[in-house]
Amino acid sequence: MNKFVLELKQKAICAKYGSDFSPLSDNDMIAIAIDTIGKQPISGRRELRVTDNLDEITWFIYCGEYSSDDDFFQPLHVSHLESLLPMVMPYLALMEGFGFVIDNEGYEDVWCFAHQA
């Protein structure tokens, strides 16, 4: 998906759910449970930053069931995510404090669990 189309989709998702448009850059890092790719549903959560470190991971994405194992998530540049999970790309401009659950059947649930002060 080209950047212009992606930005339009991201802005539409943000508007639909009342989020500021807060896109990531290609060099931003996310955390993904690589071993879960292919399972359903797909869940993501953008955590609130606790520091001003812009290299800090804020998006955590997994498919299927969550695990609290220490090695469940692996860091990844967001630029690699489109080839692994293109369905999540429109949601990644939701601001910190938002989460989503989507699946291949068209299910979509987006919520805000916290607002940054």
Q: CA 91, CA 8: separation in Å to the nearest integer?
A: 11
pTM of the predicted structure, to 2 decimals = 0.91
Of 74 and 54, the one with more pLDDT: 74
Total residue length of the chain: 117
Q: pLDDT at residue 104 above 90?
A: yes
The pLDDT tens digits of the residues spanning 31-72 come to 999 999 999 999 999 998 766 665 678 899 999 999 999 999
Q: Do the Cβ atoms of 63 and 37 come closer than 8 Å?
A: yes
Q: pLDDT at residue 117 above 50?
A: no
- Percent of the chain beyond pLDDT 70? 92
Q: Do the Cβ atoms of 43 and 62 come closer than 8 Å?
A: yes
- Phi and psi at residue 110, in whole multiples of 5°? -130, 135
